[in-house]
Amino acid sequence: MQTPLGWLADRYTLSPRSLRWAATASLVVSILIVVGGGIVRVTGSGLGCPTWPTCDTTSLAPTPAMGIHAVIEFSNRMLTVLLSITVAWTIIAARLQKPRVRSITRLAWSQFWLVVANAIAGGISVWTGLNPYVVAFHFLMAMGLLTTTTLTWHRVHEKPVSADAVRAITAPAKALSWVLVTLTAVLIAVGTLVSGSGPHSGDSADVPRMAFDWIDITIVHGVLGTVTLLVAIVLAVVLWRSRARTPLLRTVTYVAAVVVQAVVGLVQALTALPDALVVIHLLLAAMVWVGALRVLLDVNPGMLPGVHLAAARAEESVAAPETQTAA
């Protein structure tokens, strides 16, 4: 039985540029979702709409009597609608490519399912009165969505990598890239514990907090950040010695982002967590995670099904007969 997308694909074709724009839009909006959640948290608007999926028991949208908090919370929910549109665009654009690349289609559909799961997690966080563990899970789900949009973006923008460039990346560099992305993931997860223990509960009401000492868990978070930064610096040195230019540039960019993030985190911790810095810190957390994934993908070309290794192997197969002829 033919699906609607299959029917469209038999009759229409979209350009690779359309797919690249769709993937970029999904990536940008998935970052905005993280930032929007931070704005809801610092403004105490998490229960501005006290029910889900409607704003209250009688209205889908906020009423004037519900005030600014309801507007902020509902606006954040509308970002999910915008994200759904960009993800739908990505799915359609991926399916209408000629030739069709199934790995990109699967990545696009994974975005859809994570949008659905994240929306449900957001609803549960409202139903549970902003239980800090549910809110933390909601944030991690948003980072999971950001993972898929980043992978999709990388896949549709990737360019062929030469065999020499692949050989320049050493086994220690590949191992360090996996350590780096793992440490970054743990760092972000511990960051949710810092937020769940801190003063920004997400609502002006008396919302329960996690049972961690905020200063202690903040110190753990800082130590993890320092270790992550050191691993990134070591990876940059390894890549520099092997002359792997693109992965080196990506890693240096990651190091810079982590340094900026560390400065923002330290300043906000020493200045009673001003709202603007908390939101900036969340934005940078999203950017750091995207950066870690880009480092991993550049240090491990061919990790996603695509053109990297295929191009390298093709180059080798052309070079082999030339070598034999010269001999």
Delimit the domains of the chain by residue range. 13-157, 161-327
Q: What would you measure as the largest C-alpha separation in the chain, in angstroms?
A: 85
The token pair that represents 1 in the structure block = 């039985």
* The pair of three-digit structure tokens given for residue 271, joined into one six-digit string: 């200045």
**8 Å CB contact between 258 and 285:** no
What share of residues in the chain are helix, strand, coil (percent, to 5)?
A: 75, 0, 25
Buried b (16+ CB within 10 A) or exposed e, 111-125: bbebbeebbebbeeb
In three-state secondary structure terms, 257 is helix
For 34-75, write each residue's pLDDT tens digit.
Answer: 999 999 988 888 889 989 999 988 888 998 888 999 999 999
- Measured CA distances, 52 to 47, 48, 116, 169, 202 (Å): 10, 11, 14, 49, 16
pLDDT given at position 1: 72
Burial grade of 99 (CB within 10 A; 0-12, 13-18, 19 or more): exposed
- The predicted model scores a pTM of 0.89
Looking at this protein, which amino acid is placed at residue 26?
A: S
Token couple for 291: 């950066």
Q: Has domain 13-157 been given CATH number 3.90.350?
A: no
Q: Residue 111: its pLDDT value, please? A: 96
> What angle separates helix 275-299 from helix 132-157, to the nearest 10 degrees?
40
- Residue 327 pLDDT greater than 60, yes or no: no
> Residue 152 has what DSSP assignment?
H
Cα–Cα distance for residue pair 263/1, rounded to 1 Å? 56
Give me the chain's average pLDDT, please.
88
Assigned token pair, 172: 């220690």
Query: Among candidates 288, 292, 296, which has minimal Cα distance to 174?
Result: 296
pLDDT of residue 316: 38
Residue 92 confidence (pLDDT) above 50: yes
Q: What is the pLDDT of residue 164?
A: 77
